[in-house]
């Protein structure tokens, strides 16, 4: 479609280039002969050529819009798909607001650039070069005026084009920051209102918005200098053509028709050069966006990860961390020399104060990030020897700050997986979600709003647990999965979990001792290091950190 459109655009432009020549021929050769038949014939030829050129340009422009739309659609889809498979480290590097900006405003600028390049990228150079050739054929003396002006305009366009890309890149980065603030406020609007921070957030947005405005103004002011300067050179050239051309006509060195045709070519070339200047402004913005998009598309994804050939571990253990050290940004270790292991069907509890590294352990086990040192084994196999998608199918997961989609309860639990009605009902019952679901008029067909905002915190958490339990997996990873539940419901949940999914290897990250006290093994973390491993009673007797945590929670029905 692109080649077809450019071909028709080229043909239409060639026909358009002959119109001034036909006009010159009519005025200088046909009109003086006073042959009405010839005059009418050549007028008809000129009209037909004009209509053909018009039709071709309309078709080519419509085709350009379609091509640009289709390319942008595929580009946006590829970018979205690529973003889904970025590693968590890469996602952190790009940031979510920046990825959103690249998917929306950047693809829009690329769309406009592709459309403009198709419509003017062929036509403008052809009009300029073809017009110059025609003028040299008609009157080389007058054509030399163009030759002196065009290099000046070309230098001007090149200079502004090289300035444009970095300027508009800075604009898009400022828009990323603005998007980040909007996103944070949309997600935390209730907290903002509760803490009476609406005015402060308004000021924060105002300052970020001003930065976007200032960068936009700076970029556009510099780029806007092109048009006036181009106009100056063009009108200067036009005055020179009129003055020199009139003189040559009066001396009999040229004809009136030639001069009129020459002025038509001059106007065509002028409009084309102006279009080129506008095109370069749009090109600068489009290339800045293209560069940002290609940074994502050229980055490595999990699909490109090669399955490793790391040595196997001890297959007697379902999960084993062997001297694992990890850092998010490389400045300090978030986890240091972690050694722990559990057998199949056992449960592991992980407890520690906020920031001790509990969630990081689960992120490494799911291979959201790679270890800095050491190794993690699943059923005796290094997790780097698994395809990431195959690895994660082994787990049923409830993550901290997990997500519910704007869909029915049933679909949020099934989550696109082929789960039988029996398994779904079992998962709902074990998650202690049956009571509140049955009270809803639509039951499992009840539609949630975004993030499940029309449910309470405890109800949302029970649905997330049901989603994890319904997973046909051998492992359960529960990250602070019962923090919103009351102690009685939590106790029922743990009993039902043991009775129904006791054969699954389970890792429970918790803030409450009551949530992990029945685990086969408990790990106490502090500042990314293991400070104790053992059963509940052992740690109560031997570990000061565990004793402190348990003691502070005794009033919260530590023992049911």
Q: What average pLDDT is seen over the chain? A: 85
| Residue 107 confidence (pLDDT) | 92
Q: Which domain holds residue 15?
A: 2-300
| Percent of the chain with pLDDT strictly greater than 90 | 24
d(CA 260, CA 276): 24
Asked whether residue 296 falls in the same domain as residue 330, the answer is no
The answer as to whether 314 is a domain residue is no
Same domain, 120 and 238: yes
> What average pLDDT does the segment 132-138 reach?
81
Specify if 311 maps to a domain. Answer: no
Would residue 308 count as lying in a domain?
Answer: no
Q: What is the pLDDT of residue 554?
A: 60
Average pLDDT over residues 354-380: 91
- Average confidence (pLDDT) over 361-385: 92
What's residue 21's pLDDT? 81
* Better-predicted residue by pLDDT, 152 or 499: 499
Q: Domain count of the chain?
A: 2
Kindly tell me if the per-residue pLDDT of 393 is higher than 70: yes
Confidence of residue 161 (pLDDT cuts 50, 70, 90): low
| Torsion of Cα atoms, 47 then 48 then 49 then 52, to 10° | 120
Same domain, 334 and 296: no
374-392 pLDDT, tens per residue?
999 999 999 999 988 889 8
Quote the pLDDT of residue 263.
Answer: 77
* pLDDT over 50 (residue 560): no
What pLDDT score does 148 carry?
79
Report pTM.
0.70
Average of per-residue pLDDT across 28-53: 85
Which of 235, 266, 300 terminates a domain? The answer is 300
Which pLDDT score, from 0 to 100, does residue 144 have? Answer: 81
Question: Within a domain: residue 321?
Answer: no
**250 and 108 in a common domain:** yes
Same domain, 259 and 120: yes
pLDDT at 557 over 50: no
If asked whether residues 287 and 331 sit together in one domain, one would say no
- Neighbour count for residue 516 (Cβ, 10 Å): 23
Give yes or no for residue 352 having a pLDDT over 60.
yes
My answer on whether 424 and 386 are in the same domain is yes
Query: Are 296 and 332 members of one domain?
Result: no
Please give the pLDDT value at position 556: 43
Give residue 360's pLDDT band: very low, low, confident or very high (50, 70, 90): very high
Give the Å distances, CA to CA, from 382 to 300, 460, 515.
21, 34, 29
pLDDT, tens only, 510-530: 888 888 888 999 999 999 999
Is 218 in the same domain as 362? no
Same domain, 290 and 332: no
Report how far residue 429's alpha carbon sits from residue 462's, in angstroms, rounded to the nearest whole number: 10
45-58: pLDDT as tens digits: 889 988 998 999 89
Angle at 396 between CA 359 and CA 369, to 5 degrees: 40
Residue 335: the pLDDT is 93
Alpha-carbon span 109 to 285, nearest angstrom: 7
| Residue 444 maps to a domain | yes
Domain end point (choices 300, 318, 348): 300
Q: Which of 118-122, 213-217, 264-268, 422-426 has the lowest mean pLDDT?
A: 264-268
Whether residue 316 lies inside any domain: the answer is no
> Do the domain assignments include residue 309?
no
Quote the percentage of the chain above a pLDDT of 70. 96
- The CATH number for 196's domain is 1.20.1560.10
Q: Is the pLDDT of residue 320 over 90?
A: yes
406-426 pLDDT, tens digit each = 889 988 888 888 888 889 899
The reply to whether 181 and 146 lie within a common domain is yes
- Tokens of residue 521, six digits: 């093994």
Q: Is the pLDDT of residue 505 over 90?
A: yes
Res 159 pLDDT > 80: no
Summarize pLDDT for 283-318 with one digit per residue, the tens: 878 888 899 999 999 998 888 887 888 899 898 999
In this predicted structure, the answer to whether residue 134 has a pLDDT above a threshold of 70 is yes
CB 321 within 8 A of CB 295: no
86 is a domain residue: yes
Q: Quick check: 72 and 107 in contact, CB under 8 A?
A: yes
| For residues 238-248, average pLDDT | 79
Contact of 167 with 284, CB cutoff 8 Å = yes
Inter-residue contact 268 to 127 (CB < 8 Å) = yes
d(CA 335, CA 323): 10
Residue among 516, 529, 528 nearest 558 (CA): 516
Residue 25 vs residues 18, 21, 51, 263, 316: alpha-carbon distances, Å:
11, 6, 19, 14, 95
User: For residue 376, what pLDDT is reported?
Assistant: 94
For residue 348, the model assigns a pLDDT of: 94
* CATH code at position 351: 3.40.50.300
What pLDDT is attached to residue 215?
86
Is the same domain home to 257 and 346? no
């Amino acid at each position: 479609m692109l080649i077809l459109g450019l071909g028709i655009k080229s043909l239409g432009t060639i026909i358009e280039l002959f119109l001034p020549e036909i006009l010159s021929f009519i005025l200088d050769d046909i009109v003086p002969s006073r042959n009405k038949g010839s005059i009418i014939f050549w007028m008809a030829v000129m009209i037909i050529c004009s209509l053909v050129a018009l039709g071709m340009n309309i078709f080519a422009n419509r085709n350009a819009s379609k091509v640009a739309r289709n390319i942008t659609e595929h580009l946006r889809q590829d970018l979205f798909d690529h973003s889904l498979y970025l590693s968590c480290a890469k996602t952190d590097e790009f940031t979510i607001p920046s990825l959103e900006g690249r998917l929306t405003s950047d693809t829009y600028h690329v769309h406009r650039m592709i459309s403009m390049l198709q419509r003017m990228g062929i036509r403008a150079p052809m009009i300029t070069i073809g017009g110059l050739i025609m003028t040299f054929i008609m009157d080389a003396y007058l054509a030399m005026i163009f030759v002196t002006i065009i290099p000046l305009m070309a230098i001007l366009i090149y200079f502004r084009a090289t300035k444009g890309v970095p300027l508009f890149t800075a604009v898009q980065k400022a828009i990323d920051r603005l998007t980040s603030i909007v996103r944070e406020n949309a997600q935390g609007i209730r907290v903002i209102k509760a803490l009476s921070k609406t005015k402060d957030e308004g000021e924060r947005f105002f300052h970020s918005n001003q930065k976007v405005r200032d960068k936009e103004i700076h970029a556009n002011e510099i780029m806007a200098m092109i048009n006036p300067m181009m106009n100056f050179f063009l009108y200067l050239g036009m005055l020179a053509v009129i003055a020199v051309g009139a003189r040559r006509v009066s001396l009999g060195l040229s004809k009136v028709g030639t001069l009129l045709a020459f002025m038509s070519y001059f106007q065509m070339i002028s409009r084309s050069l102006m279009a080129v200047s506008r095109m370069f402004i749009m090109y600068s913005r489009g290339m800045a966006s293209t560069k940002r998009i290609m940074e994502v598309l050229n980055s490595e994804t999990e699909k490109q990860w090669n399955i490793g050939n790391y040595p196997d571990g001890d297959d007697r253990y379902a999960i084993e961390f062997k001297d694992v050290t990890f850092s998010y940004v490389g400045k300090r270790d978030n986890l240091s020399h972690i050694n722990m292991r559990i057998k199949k069907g056992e449960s592991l509890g992980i407890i520690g104060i906020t920031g001790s590294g509990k969630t990081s352990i689960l992120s490494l086990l799911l291979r959201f990030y790679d270890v800095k040192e050491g190794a993690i084994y699943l059923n005796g196999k290094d997790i780097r020897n698994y395809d990431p998608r195959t690895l994660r199918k082994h787990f049923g997961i409830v993550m901290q700050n997990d997500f519910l989609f704007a869909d029915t309860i049933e679909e949020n639990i099934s989550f696109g997986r082929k789960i039988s009605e029996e398994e779904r009902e079992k998962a709902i019952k074990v998650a202690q979600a049956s009571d509140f679901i049955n009270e809803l008029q639509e039951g499992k067909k009840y539609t949630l709003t975004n993030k499940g905002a029309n449910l309470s915190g405890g109800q949302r958490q029970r649905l997330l647990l049901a989603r994890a339990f319904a997973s046909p997996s051998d492992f359960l990873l529960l990250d602070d999965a019962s923090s919103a539940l009351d102690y009685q419901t939590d106790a029922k949940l743990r009993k039902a979990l043991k009775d129904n999914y006791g054969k699954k290897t389970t890792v429970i990250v918790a803030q409450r001792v009551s949530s992990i006290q029945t685990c086969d093994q408990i790990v106490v973390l502090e500042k990314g290091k293991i400070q104790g491993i053992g059963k509940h009673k052992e740690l109560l007797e031997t570990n000061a950190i565990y004793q402190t945590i348990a003691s502070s929670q005794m009033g919260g029905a530590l023992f049911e």
